[in-house]
Structure 1
Amino acid sequence: MSRAINLEAADQEAERRDLVSIPEDDWQVAMERYRILASLVGLPSRTAAHVKVVADELLVSVATVYRWLERVERFGSVSCLLRKRRFDAGVIRMPPSPSQSSIVICLLTMLSSLNLKDDASSRLQYWTACGAIDIPDR
């Protein structure tokens, strides 16, 4: 039931899109999908082998072909094959990596807590530790 509701919502969104606003490349992709799928639409003796051939030609999974066929048979339009825009397009979903300066501060704090002497050996340990996490020494 939920799947049907999601398909209906997606198709309503596609219908609301102004056809003039669709980039030509996107429209051509949808037309090509429609052209290739047309051989399967309404085919009463459609087999998994038929669908597999079309999936291979379109370079998509068999499940995707079945989803597209469901849409085409239900709505009969090319626009139902347009790629949907993600609602989170352009949004960074991963937290930013720590900056090198925050890593250096953390490392300096850690090293200072070890009460290292200010000599060549201590500096060598420090720069070795910095090199291990790709922090430039200058």
Structure 2
Amino acid sequence: MGLTVSHGAFDAAYSAFNRFRAFLLESIGGSFPPHDNEELKDNYWYYGDGYSTETHKGLTEFFGHSDCDGYIDPDMCLLVADELECILPNIIRLEKEKGKGQGHVLSQGGYVQLTKYFIQGCRLAAKRNENLEFR
């Protein structure tokens, strides 16, 4: 059993989605649970410097979204796609440093490729004026 996000955005294990989000947050100096820093709360994710829930509503939607159900509406899909594209250079840099991942992440082509799939899925959902569905 795993997570399928419509429009070809993601299709792999729930754990792979969490590793994906953790990697993306790390690429911008943030942290996704479980944290290496014991001072951070286990049930929360944290942005790095220069990012916030106010300035990056698309990334906030992506990082804070349920990993098993719900949807992202078409307008928010555009924000998610735009903001993921903006951090893509950070993801590329970190993947070169740390590798493409393992398991389902690696079988999908790595973190950079997963990001591109998610961006494409968001853009397709927005173009069709459809929700990006998590199931």
Pairwise TM-score range, normalised by the shorter structure = under 0.3
Higher Cα radius of gyration: 1
Task: Compute the TM-score of the two structures, normalised by the length of structure 2.
Answer: 0.28
Task: Compute the TM-score of the two structures, normalised by the length of structure 1.
Answer: 0.27
Which structure has more helix as a fraction of its residues? 1
Structure with higher RCO (Cα < 8 A, 6+ apart): 2
